[in-house]
Amino acid sequence: MAVMTYSQALNEALREEMRADPRVFVMGEDIGLYGGVFRVTQGLLAEFGPERVRDTPISEAAFIGMGVGAAMAGMRPVVELMFMDFALVAADQIVNQAAKLRYMSGGQVSVPIVIRAQQGGGRGNGAQHSQSFESWLAQVPGLKVVAPATPKDAKGLLKSAIRDGNPVIFIEHKLLYNTKGEVPEGELTIPIGKAEIKRPGRDITIVSFSRTLLFALEAAERLAQDGIEAEVVDLRTIEPLDMQTILESVRGTARLLIVQESHSNCGIGAEIIARVYEQAPEALVAPARRLGARHAPIPVAEALENAVLPQTTDIVRAVEEMF
């Protein structure tokens, strides 16, 4: 086991896949010479050269669209959106194009593109640099949506995403890049579509992913001191959703809380709760709950941002209210 940061784990995944497969190349803003705003692509230019590590202009629609075209032509582009918020500039190419070309062509083409983007708040980046879009994107048939929380999952899922034959939205979080964790040496892939129980417990299931997973684990630690044993399920993949793992956990704990950083309204938490009630209505002894961003743009001042985004204390309080 090596201990490394989330950024380093992603960097290793890119490096390994680029070494193994000449079809893999990366494109994005400031990813070559500069090494990426969050250092994920550091050193790739030196190793692989400017053909395969392409600095693009600030033209998200064109370079994602070109990634789509290159993917249809047999390449494996990994395209970086510096901030998830910028996905909206390229929304046509993601939603109308990448997600639909295979279907509209009757299966004649495939679009094996990975769109990496970091999302989320907590850093005072404001309303246009702090949003979380996994719930929106999960609504689009034809996309897979992945959001790892740990360095190990980040590496293993990125490698799986690059090898996947479909468009994969690979969601990172700006405040996870410097978090550290153990990553097994050697070949590592984590399957897309599989959640993982990050902490076993018998009293309540807390489902989360990305940065709020760390909050959920912290909350579980505090709750344990009060005698509540929370089971923390890390979704890891938002679409396709691993309902089996969620249902098994809920059948064991009989209580369910979803924690997401994206807006609660019409979000993935609501979807999971609906599916649990549809698929296992007998499983719960208390109403399921969800925690997410409250219905406001993400503000800059810390006191304001913390009021909008779910915090560890909010999780502890919500769980306590459910007993």
Partner 1 sequence: MPLAPERLPEAYRQMLIIRKFEETIRDLYQQGRIRGSFHPCVGQEATAVGGCWPLRRDDAMSCTYRGHGHALAKGLSPRAAMAEMLGKATGCCKGKGGSMHFTDIQNGVLVANAIVAAGLPHAAGFALAAQMQGSDRIALAFFGDGAVNQGVFHETMNLAVVWNLPLVLVCENNLYSEMTPYKETTSVHALRERAASYGMRAVGVDGNDVEQMYAAVEEAAARARQGEGPTFIEAMTYRLWGHMMGDPEVYRTREEVAQARENEPIVRLRRRLLALGHTAAELDRLEAEAAAVIDDALQFAESSPVPRPEEAFTDILI
Q: Which of 214, 211, 290 is nearest to 246 (CA)?
A: 290
CB of 254 to partner 1, least distance (A): 34
- Please tell me the distance from the alpha carbon of residue 172 to that of residue 9, in angstroms, as a whole number: 12
Q: On the CB side of 113, how many CA atoms lie within 13 Å of its CA?
A: 31
Per CB under 8 A, 66 contacts partner 1? yes
Per CB under 8 A, 35 contacts partner 1? no
With CB under 8 A, what is the number of residues at the site for partner 1?
Answer: 43
Query: Which residue among 12, 17, 60, 172 is the active-site one?
Result: 60
Which CB, 62 or 304, lies closer to partner 1? 62
- Please tell me the distance from the alpha carbon of residue 205 to that of residue 197, in angstroms, as a whole number: 10
Which CB, 27 or 319, lies closer to partner 1? 27
Which CB, 97 or 253, lies closer to partner 1? 97
Q: Which of 113, 77, 73 is nearest to 97 (CA)?
A: 113
* 3 state DSSP class of 78: strand
Is 263 designated active site?
no
CB of 99 to partner 1, least distance (A): 9
CB of 193 to partner 1, least distance (A): 11
Phi-psi region of 42 (alpha: psi -120 to 50; beta: other; left: phi over 0): beta
- Please tell me the distance from the alpha carbon of residue 185 to that of residue 147, in angstroms, as a whole number: 22
- Only one of the segments 30-38, 160-168, 259-267, 307-315 lies at the binding site for partner 1 (rule: CB under 8 A); that segment is 160-168
Per CB under 8 A, 63 contacts partner 1? yes
Query: Which residue among 129, 239, 263, 271 is the active-site one?
Result: 129
Binding map of partner 1 across residues 114-153, x = CB under 8 A, - = no contact:
---------------------------xx-x---------
Q: On the CB side of 109, how many CA atoms lie within 13 Å of its CA?
A: 22
For residues 228 and 319, is the Cβ–Cβ distance under 8 A?
A: yes
Which CB, 143 or 272, lies closer to partner 1? 143
Is 51 designated active site?
no
User: Which amino acid does the sequence have at 155?
Assistant: K
Which CB, 108 or 225, lies closer to partner 1? 108
- Only one of the segments 66-74, 209-217, 253-261, 264-272 lies at the binding site for partner 1 (rule: CB under 8 A); that segment is 66-74
| Strand order across the beta sheet in which 53-55 lies | 53-55, 24-28, 76-81, 114-119, 168-173, 144-146, 237-239
Chain contacts with partner 1 (rule: CB under 8 A): 25, 51-52, 56-57, 59, 61-75, 77, 92-93, 96-97, 101-110, 112, 141-142, 144, 164-166
Which of the residues are catalytic?
Answer: 60, 129
